[in-house]
Amino acid sequence: MTVTREASQHAGGATSSLVLTPAVVAHRGASGHRPEHTLGAYRTAIRMGADDIELDLVSTRDGVLVARHDLELSTTTDVASRAGLAHLRRTLVVDGVEQEGWFVQDLTLAQLRTLTARERMPATRPANTSYDGTEGVATLDEVLAMVGVESARRGRQVGVMLELKHPAHHDTIGLPLDEPLLRDLARHHLDHPWARVTLMSFEPAILRRLAARTRLSVVQLLHAHDRPTPEALDRIDDYADGVGAHRSLVLPRDPGGAMGAPSTLVRDAHRRGLTVHVWTVRAENRFLPTDLRRGSDPAALGDMAGEVAALLAAGVDGVITDHPEEACAARRRDLAAAGH
């Protein structure tokens, strides 16, 4: 068991305090409870006790970073109902995948501000649809401002884990993500080595660039199909401080879909001084190992705490989750069991 209570290496400034590790990171905010990436989703996560919030970043046509997972907007906003934006519908190939719809890169911030957010998975999370239409698309600047206010109000520094989406694609369309990112961080005085800010991407090139320009933590994201061999981890160690691994890389499932024994990834990463965050832990049955499901409804809540407990036992440094309240509760139980 590696649960400890210690001073965060990231914490700094007036709101620095003891923080719990492993960290609970709210994936796109408390996206199990609110439409993802909205200020409401982030605030809810902070209220639930999340140590950090995770946000994905893409660029508008005029170079403003906004919190969205997809370049295409119709899955998570009401863009399709906006007659004034109908002419912007088109087909676009991004990283080899052809998509049709409305793309953030084609809209100015002013145009994006006319949209409202909606739930990505209405069949799985019907309750969240009651928030559809109530909030707009948030800019990175707005999220950082909100984090500053909430941190001061609660007396603890809430962290941000920023994922840069499709950086090479953004480079090719003349909207590189680096400059607006560093500008926004500097505006909020979050560009110093003690800021609780982590920069993440699946693409090593932008992480190498940013590692050369900042002292912030850098995390290399790994897909389920990636092979974190010793050689691969050595390469990552050249520019990154940690890895953000698909949960199956730490806790593989057996052929029947049940939770299996932990891999050696945490040990191998820690030997190199690399941290390990795991994504994405979700409470609904359809996302859980078969042995942690409750009943047969794929949208019903299963035993997510069981998966978190197994990840904590495997020694991870952070759990990235749509349900931060469940992860915080599981962590509290682990701390209590360890006598803290």
* Positions 133 through 172 that interact with ligand G3P (CB under 6 A): 163
Binds ligand G3P (CB under 6 A): choice among 10, 27, 166, 282: 27
Task: Choose the stretch contacting Ca ion; rule: CB under 5 A; options: 4-12, 160-168, 202-210, 239-247.
Answer: 160-168
Q: Which does residue 279 touch among Ca ion, ligand G3P, none (CB within 5 to 8 A, set by kind)?
A: ligand G3P
Report the half-sphere exposure of 231 (CA within 13 A, side-chain side). 1
Binds ligand G3P (CB under 6 A): choice among 10, 37, 69, 170: 69
Binds ligand G3P (CB under 6 A): choice among 280, 291, 306, 329: 280
Amino acid at site 292 = L
| Residue 8: closest CA among 220, 159, 150, 154 | 159
Q: Which H or E element spans position 320?
A: strand 318-321
Quote the tokens at residue 157.
Answer: 């520094």
Q: Does 106 bind ligand G3P (CB under 6 A)?
A: no
Sign of CA dihedral 153, 50, 58, 79: negative
In Å, the largest CA–CA distance within the chain is: 61
Q: What's the distance, CA 141 to chain centroid?
A: 17
In the complex, residue closest to ligand G3P by CB:
279
Q: Does 247 bind ligand G3P (CB under 6 A)?
A: no
Q: Which does residue 282 touch among ligand G3P, Ca ion, none (CB within 5 to 8 A, set by kind)?
A: none
Residue 56 or 191 having the CB closest to Ca ion: 56
Residue that the structure tokens 């495997």 belong to: 314
Q: How far is the CB of 52 from Ca ion (least distance, A)?
A: 12
Q: How far is the CB of 323 from Ca ion (least distance, A)?
A: 16
Residue 54 or 85 having the CB closest to ligand G3P: 54
Residue 85 or 117 having the CB closest to Ca ion: 117
Q: What's the distance, CA 187 to chain centroid?
A: 22
| Residue 322: closest CA among 71, 58, 37 | 37
**Contact call for residues 161 and 25 (beta carbons, < 8 A):** yes
| Residue 41: closest CA among 157, 142, 174 | 142
Q: Does 42 bind ligand G3P (CB under 6 A)?
A: no
Strand boundaries in 22-172, DSSP class E: 23-27, 52-59, 65-67, 90-94, 97-101, 159-164
Q: How far is the CB of 163 from Ca ion (least distance, A)?
A: 4
Q: How far is the CB of 254 from Ca ion (least distance, A)?
A: 27
Q: Does 51 bind Ca ion (CB under 5 A)?
A: no
Q: Does 61 bind ligand G3P (CB under 6 A)?
A: no
Q: Does 307 bind Ca ion (CB under 5 A)?
A: no
- Give the whole-angstrom CA distance, residue 32 versus residue 14: 31
Q: Are strands 90-94 and 197-201 parallel, antiparallel or unpaired?
A: unpaired
Q: How far is the CB of 54 from ligand G3P (least distance, A)?
A: 5
* Positions 203 through 232 that interact with ligand G3P (CB under 6 A): 221
- Give the whole-angstrom CA distance, residue 66 versus residue 139: 4
Q: How far is the CB of 67 from ligand G3P (least distance, A)?
A: 11
Residue 52 or 163 having the CB closest to Ca ion: 163
- Whole-number Cα distances in Å, 24 to 69, 138, 183, 322, 332: 20, 22, 27, 10, 11
Q: Does 56 bind Ca ion (CB under 5 A)?
A: yes
Q: How far is the CB of 177 from ligand G3P (least distance, A)?
A: 14
Q: Does 244 bind ligand G3P (CB under 6 A)?
A: yes
- Give the whole-angstrom CA distance, residue 2 versus residue 205: 32
Three-state SS at 117: strand
Q: Does 29 bind ligand G3P (CB under 6 A)?
A: no
List contacts with ligand G3P (CB under 6 A): 27, 54, 56, 69, 163, 221, 244, 279-280, 320
List contacts with Ca ion (CB under 5 A): 56, 163
